Structure 1
Amino acid sequence: MKTLRYVGMAVLAIMLCVNFTACSDDDEEKQPTTPPEETPTPPQEETPATPATLAGTTWKITSSTDDGVFPGISLTFHEDKTVTTDSPDFTVGLTYEAKGNTLKIVWLWGGAYNEYMEGPLTIEGNTATYTFNWFNMDGSCNTIDDPRTLTLQKQ
């Protein structure tokens, strides 16, 4: 029964091919068509790095999915790539790097305990969303399966 079905499908396929070939329209003289000339598009310049606009600004954390970074803390990004906070709980040194839309904040705990958070930063008006992972300084990731998010409000 399977064989009969396959033979029937093959015969049907052959009939359809012959049918479409027989119906082609080549009675009219066709003018050779030339494809339209393509104008090369100039390479697009990359949009300026969004985090680069952080220098000289202060942002307040309005929400956090990370237990160690609390809402209510303000982060001030300085021209010299350092970050200061208004929290007495964070007496560690902080630095930052911005490349494209990626922001990296390094926590200088001292010694082998240094670590950093890195991920995309999206700024829309006075609100920013920072989705990041925690990394050890050797590059091993602590939160690869569970990235964290901060929502920031420009002050």
Structure 2
Amino acid sequence: MKTLRLIGMAVIAVIMSVNFIACSDDDDTIDTSSLEGTWGLVRSAGWELCSDETEKDTWDYTNDPYNPDYDSEKIVIKKLTDNTYSITAYYYNAGTKVWQTGGSQTGVLDGKTIVLKDYDGWFEYANPIIETLTTDKLVLRMKYDNVQTDPDYDPEHRHSGDFTETYTKIK
């Protein structure tokens, strides 16, 4: 009986040690092998607030990237160097039924954050944080608070926001 109890305790010890090893804290790194490609927006949800407004602008909408309409967007991510990527955003012009460039930027991957180097029409106020990255799903989160947006226009004009963009790989 003592032998069975000793074996049982050994099995429990092995299981516990495997569980502790499996739960290591790797939250700051991601596998970037799936990052390159064309990603179609499937869901956008969150809020933004302009200092000229008193209420948050909230939204939660979905898209079918294979049947684009007026809310459709996509991004194309290309690896330039070891940790540097170009990101080009497109929006669908429902009138002409053509994808049009919405802006292009270069970003350096720092852990899960894409630190943008240029601002040309895409995520101007925040560096996107990669919340999920698999071979077919990319979730980016933008969060910013009280950001000065145009000092030449009005130095007191500020923006805040917190939203996620969920993409599926279409190429």
TM-score, with structure 1 as normaliser: 0.48
Max Rg structure: 1
User: When you count helix as a share of all residues, which structure comes out higher?
Assistant: 1
User: When you count strand as a share of all residues, which structure comes out higher?
Assistant: 2
